[in-house]
Structure 1
């Protein structure tokens, strides 16, 4: 008989949330390997900013095209089943990518197509995972749940994954993607052991549900200010992430296997940011702390591109991690608290569309901007935009 969340103890210490955390940990290690290996493989084999930019656009585009209907469908389906199916699909696609890399058939077109399919599946898994997180953690443990998720995400995707990618890429790039495929298989098995969740569902046709979720998001002032802040920040982050591997190789002079070291530095900062953010929010208020994290993020972006010195780059990467993790914990908690349970999938997806769907613009502009000026200019421009956004939205974020 399937276990139901209504008969499972809620909270971050409950068995259900611990099982979900284990699934996250496994899949995120594989994600960390792929997220480093895919742009690194593209940069190493093409040496082209345009090719790197194209793959980055393909990775981000499903958040614009697929995420919104995915969220509405998640509100109609069992979230645990959605996550399991998404993991199995990504396991198969990533396994085929590993074969293509091993046989020398991983052209830029293949890399872009694979990136698009993987992120499309992720849009379903992400919305369903949000439902599972809220239902299993309970209202009282949302800050702790989001802090724990960001911590697990950081350790897996930004620390363990990149370290594994560094060794595997030096040995055989295809092994990076093979490990990612295996991680999805393991995660699917773990998620199948998570208690089933069947939150209240709202009726109506699919189109009406899509409109309802988007309308709620843009008409709720506390959510609207979050969306604007995240949308602008996501565009800038996509631009700097798209150029990270190329900047590290050409400007900082790092060898290809050493590039993931910078991601590890970001992870160290993110662990600190995830741990400190709930405490800072209790003392100073979540709105003020979120504004502070945005200002810190903009300053770190600009610092990274201001000089080709490795020591400065390392410091900037640590600050990246502190600011982004702190912002993610507090903004996710605010969004979850302001969203009714039956609309969680739709509102989450609409939020991702408006917040992340624009990120292909940043990734797409980064290549031409770097080619016309310099790679460092991308970071200086992105930092200036994020800093100005923090100042502009300081009052609504604090009030929200």
Structure 2
């Protein structure tokens, strides 16, 4: 049975992710009104994701020291404040590209602290044997909020004006922070570290490096994120506007994101059943391989229908992969290390995103958008082939068995 605290966490996640969807798409669409340069447009994604490269390890160490619910609430409040300042800039007529980039950077900082604590808090809210189900529900509401609700809403709000596009997520983030107050229980580790932050960060890095399965999966995630960031940083230029290959209006771009969300909901709810029948590793490898090949469809079939269907399939396969990966990590890593290890993995995975976005913009200028898309797809296929060697059903089973004695001791203490 899902606990009361999980329901509040689920509600908060839904509200904040609708805000994420409006912000992500809305800021990109605002940027397109300021410039048509692939490099300058890609800088928005770079700024939003750069904090993952700079602050992730610190966010993880703090999540293992302090109340994780409080960190999430404060982060949501900070995002509402940043957006309020950007609204004032829009009303004053000074919302130019540098201001937009500064706002995206600050929103990214708050996201790092909120998301790091969010995934670390879940094992404190639900039993370990319910993690896959809980992660499926969370990923479903996150993708619905980001793409099915937030992205189309961004397309509509952009037609009204920048202030409306930024004001809606500000209210949503504020509501998400308030929803967290309904959670009850312990949301900090029982014996937080009193050592230096640097020493705590080193422990997280060491644990991940010594763990063969987690190390391979984190590098794999980094390569996939690098390739996908390069792809989607300039994807809006391929589909939106009269100068684009597809020629969709901004609202059409939001509908493509909604198709992505529909597939993601289905994938997140099916992930547990698929991994139970086919095995975690086989499900993971198959989902990521199909996802990688699908990236080629918009290049060879640049039509609204083909891209919409592809978006739904991309959403499904990506959600399946995420549920398997996150649930596995939460079962293997001890509670007192989860924030730091999760942060280290996100550093590799999300830290590659701004680099990929910058590379995508650079290559888009030099060799064209189709070359960016094909290169990204090829890199993803290679990554899937390489990770299938160290990550097998046997190695994953051994890692889970190795974690069981420590878990049993903690539960009986």
| Fold match by TM threshold 0.5 | yes
Note if 1:394 corresponds to 2:384.
no
Task: Kindly provide the CA deviation profile for residues 296-342 of structure 1, in whole angstroms up to 9, marking residues without a partner as x.
Answer: 11111122223322222122211210111111111001111111100
Give the structure-2-normalised TM-score: 0.91
Q: Does the CA contact (< 8 Å) of 1:82 and 1:124 recur in 2?
A: yes
**In 2, Cα distance between the equivalents of 1:379 and 1:166?**
24
**In 1, Cα distance between the equivalents of 2:210 and 2:290?**
29
Q: CA deviation at 1:81?
A: 1.0
Matches within 5 A, 1:68-79: 68-79=57-68
**In 1, Cα distance between the equivalents of 2:115 and 2:59?**
9
Matches within 5 A, 1:76-87: 76-87=65-76
Which sections of structure 2, spanning at least 5 residues, go unmatched? 397-413
Q: CA deviation at 1:23?
A: 0.7
In the other structure, the counterpart of 1:269 is 263
Give the structure-1-normalised TM-score: 0.94
In the other structure, the counterpart of 1:220 is 211
In the other structure, the counterpart of 2:227 is 236
In the other structure, the counterpart of 1:98 is 87
Note if 1:167 corresponds to 2:156.
yes
Q: Does the CA contact (< 8 Å) of 2:217 and 2:387 recur in 1?
A: no
**In 2, Cα distance between the equivalents of 1:49 and 1:187?**
33
* SS, match of residue 351 in structure 1: helix
Q: CA deviation at 1:247?
A: 1.2
Task: Kindly provide the CA deviation profile for residues 33-71 of structure 1, in whole angstroms up to 9, marking residues without a partner as x.
Answer: 111101111012211111111111111110010111111
**In 2, Cα distance between the equivalents of 1:201 and 1:32?**
36
**In 1, Cα distance between the equivalents of 2:190 and 2:289?**
39
In the other structure, the counterpart of 2:200 is 209
**In 2, Cα distance between the equivalents of 1:276 and 1:58?**
34
In structure 2, which of residues 124, 132, 151 is the aligned counterpart of residue 135 of structure 1? 124
In the other structure, the counterpart of 1:57 is 46
**In 2, Cα distance between the equivalents of 1:256 and 1:116?**
23
Q: Does the CA contact (< 8 Å) of 2:120 and 2:342 recur in 1?
A: no
In structure 2, which of residues 373, 377, 380 is the aligned counterpart of residue 383 of structure 1? 377
In the other structure, the counterpart of 1:328 is 322
**In 2, Cα distance between the equivalents of 1:37 and 1:376?**
24
Q: CA deviation at 1:132?
A: 2.0
**In 1, Cα distance between the equivalents of 2:101 and 2:255?**
25
Larger mean Cα displacement after TM superposition, 282-291 or 108-117: 108-117
In the other structure, the counterpart of 1:358 is 352
Q: CA deviation at 1:202?
A: 4.2
Q: Does the CA contact (< 8 Å) of 2:34 and 2:97 recur in 1?
A: no
**In 1, Cα distance between the equivalents of 2:162 and 2:79?**
18
In the other structure, the counterpart of 1:39 is 28
Which sections of structure 1, spanning at least 5 residues, go unmatched? 1-10
Q: CA deviation at 1:104?
A: 2.7
In the other structure, the counterpart of 1:256 is 250
